[in-house]
Structure 1
Amino acid sequence: MKLLAKIMIGLIITLMIYPHQSEAQFGKLKSAMGKSKSKSSSGGGGNAFASFNDETDEMGITGSYYGLSDGKSYGYRFVKEDEGKLVNQLFYFEKAGDDPQLKMDMKESYFRKAEVKLFYNWLSASASGYIELIEVDPGVLAQIKSDRSYNDGPVALDATRTVVDVYAKDKANFDTWDIETAQAKVDMLIGTLKADEFVKVKKNLEKFEVYSTYKGKIAFAKGTNYLRNQKSNQPTEKPANFITKAELGATVAFKPYFEQPLEVSHPGAWFNITYEMAGEITDREKLRKSSTVFAENIPQIDKDQEKFYFWYPKVTVNTSNNVADYAFLELLRKSQNQLTAGQVYDLKVTVWAFKDGANIDPVASSTIQLEYTKEENGTKKLLFDPIKGWVTVLENLLDE
């Protein structure tokens, strides 16, 4: 399907929802489509852009391309200078003629850093008006849509990029480059760019005491408020507010800090957490697969892969709002016969990179001491109160 035709569908939907934007939206689209001096089209029977293959450019992109989705031919021409100005643009042709139907800007810094050839254009401020092309192999371009609205430049590196079509100079390339393969290559190229960006981010993070001290470790606190920060990559938490010992059954919040974002260190993985205490161990992902009770109450941790720490702190239990990690409650249930009033137990918390059904590598780990307090409203009540005790609640749920 023609590149602009796909964008037209998205714009029509946008205009139905936001009719007051119709004049501006159609104006942009007409300006992109209405510049061709020739009425001839590439059609399906011939190749109106064969002459493009005789041209050369420093990027090696210019040529006649076939669309994977419709088999038709289209013209792409890399233009370094236009009307006496340095532009570094990719011209797109659906019709034979001197004027392109679309001009896409090149993200030059991506090419300088990692030789990634990415071109983009915003036909409208909405996500449906965004066009992006990335060269995934010499003579092969992937067309991409995204979930982000207007940005000053291409959509950000952390945006979702979905390959919707592939263009190739040689149709034989489609034997290798289908949508799925192109998507994998796009993900790899964007990952390379992110890795470069992460080097800069980490250098700045090292200036913050909490990150430089706790990377690869887990910080514990009496509440999640001690572990929050307001701006991305600016961890302003105060280590003086962290704890190394708490009452067993009382609120314990925790936050891991990573040497690298998970999507860099372990692409395609998500997070898992294990708890170890008193000779017992529980694993969130194993429990999720063991019963519907745990599957419904232990959500997969599939966010923050692009971050150097969890944006929202986790808790073992939180007495202020009766929230708990059911994997930790299962640890309490399994170890209850080994627990004695007055004793102190080491709780080891480990955050893992998890993929293909297995823990691959630990990415953060630390230990906190938990004391079984003797007071009337202490640990025994917190764990075994006949109505609200943490262990009682879990056992009742498992018995249903």
Structure 2
Amino acid sequence: MKKLAKILTVAVIALIIYPHQSDAQFGKLKSAMSKSKSGSGSKGGNAFESFNSETDEMGITGAYYGLSDSKAYGFKFIKENEGKLVNQLYYFEKAGADPQVKMDMKESYYRKAEVKLFYHWLSASASGYIELIEVDPGVLAQIKSDRSYNDGPVALDATRTVVDVYAKDKSNFDTWDVETAQAKVDMLIGSLKADEVVKIKKKLERFEVYSKYKGKIAFAKGTNYLRNQKSNEPTEKPANFITKAELGATVAFKPYFEMPLEQSHPGAWFNITYEMAGQTTDREKLRKSSTIFAENIPQIDKDQEKFYFWYPKVTVNTSNNVADYAFLELLRKTQDDLSAGQVYDLKVTVWAYKDGANIDPVASSTIQLEYTKEDNGTKKLLFDPVKGWVTVLEDLLDE
């Protein structure tokens, strides 16, 4: 029955978490934080049993056992020290008055969602930040964070890996192993992210570009018109956006999302499709169709936590000869149907993509592309015998 209860606990929590990866190479809290191994907790009894007679408002103080080694450890929550408010967690692996490590509390997380998280910077050589999170009364999960010192502690978008569990009662390990603790940690951080997203979106609505373009794509003559300097401060000017361009000339674009992808579609990444003149190309399908496209169409697996792409994309960029090969393939497929003097609608759609399929569109817009008649216009841009966009792609595919 205990085993069944444990499995059910994992299953329930797993339904509402974000995907994670475990890494068994990280060491115990004690091995990372203490240079001395002498006097460490004993497997027999608990040298910190007296801690259980102490109380604190967080309910954390007490004698604990480690899951990985069954040894005894002590934790004390200290609200004040020498008349100063500190809100720290003291970690003991050796009996004595002084803790081996003092960990700071992330107070805002407790105020927002009563998440009890403590952190400490070790060093670059000792695996960076270490965190402890209460996953259940009397149960703490030891976390390895991927953040560096310059990133600052406890970033919500950090990758967190549970490497050990501590419990006041060893019977708790029947339920709380590393996998179950990881699920709970992901759930707690996910709830904090959801609260943060609501606040960020409210702020973004103040900006004209986001309020007008969420769920849409903005086009411009260059990426410089679509950049901003600070996160969550989109200062781009819609007056600089375009709705029509020369076919084959530079077109930059940037999608704005109703919600970040990791919130709306956990575990997904981005895909882009292009539609024009009755043809459609799909980045992910092309990536899997040949090594040429696989090498030249990278997976878009960044910015899932953002409300827009941090760096704009381009269909083509004539100034530095950069192009999206999925767009070039669209030009190659439609070349026999295009003629000078005509204007074509290009629909660009950004998708949530997961498990080999487009799930939902998260941003979409259409721009008109004109096939110009001038000798140095569209025909030269697309079909120049050496540098034309279609010429270059066809030569590459023929190799």
Aligned match of 1:291: 290
> Which residue is 1:78 aligned to?
77
Match of 1:7 in 2: 33
User: Does the Cα contact within 8 Å between 1:227 and 1:254 map onto a contact in 2?
Assistant: yes
State which drifts further: 374-383 or 252-261. 374-383
For 1:209, the equivalent position in structure 2 comes to 208
What is the root-mean-square deviation of aligned Cα atoms in Å? 2.6
Higher relative contact order (CA 8 A, sep 6+): 2
Structure 1 unmatched runs, 5+: 10-32
Q: Do the aligned partners of 1:41 and 1:48 also contact (CA within 8 Å) in 2?
A: no
Match runs of 1:1-400 below 5 Å: 2-8=28-34, 41-123=40-122, 128=127, 130-150=129-149, 154-400=153-399
1:83 positional shift: 4.3
- Hey, what's the Cα distance between the residues in 2 that align with 1:172 and 1:326? 57
Counterpart Cα distance in 1 of 2:112 and 2:361: 30
1:151 and 1:196, CA in 2 relative to 1: closer, same or farther beyond 3 A? farther
Please say if residues 127 and 147 of structure 1, whose CA atoms lie closer than 8 Å, have aligned partners that are also in contact: no
From the superposition, tell whether residues 110 and 92 of structure 1 become closer, same or farther in structure 2 (CA, over 3 Å): same
Matched residues, percent identical? 87
Aligned partner letter, 2:45: G
Tell me, in whole angstroms, the C-alpha distance in 1 between the residues paired with 2:386 and 2:398. Answer: 14
Within 2, Cα distance between the matches of 1:365 and 1:333? 22
Shift of 1:53: 4.2
Relative distance call for 1:244 and 1:332 in structure 2 (3 A) is: same
Amino acid at match of 1:5: S
Q: Deviations over 1:132-177 (max 9, x none)?
A: 1111233322212333344697332233333332223344444544
TM-score normalised to structure 1 length: 0.85
Moved more, 157-166 or 370-379: 157-166
TM superposition shift of 1:106: 1.6
CA–CA separation in structure 2 for the residues paired with 1:254 and 1:170: 56
Matched residue count: 373
CA contact (8 A) 1:91 1:103 kept: yes
Deviates more, 1:103-112 or 1:85-94: 85-94
> In 2, distance between residues paired with 1:234 and 1:109?
22
> Which deviations, in whole Å up to 9, do the C-alpha atoms of 1:359-392 show, x marking residues without a partner?
2221111110111222212222222222222122
- Between stretches 216-225 and 39-48, larger displacement belongs to 39-48
Secondary structure of the corresponding residue to residue 316 of structure 1: strand
Which moves more between the two structures, 348-357 or 175-184? 175-184
- 1:23-72 per-residue CA deviation (whole Å, 9 max, x = no partner) reads xxxxxxxxxx89xxxx9542223322344445444333233322233221
Q: Deviations over 1:334-378 (max 9, x none)?
A: 222222222211111111112222222211111101112222122
SS at 2:348's partner residue?
strand
CA contact (8 A) 1:221 1:227 kept: yes
1: CA distance between counterparts of 2:118 and 2:281? 48
Amino acid corresponding to residue 327 of structure 1 in structure 2: A
Distance 1:7 1:95 in 2: 12
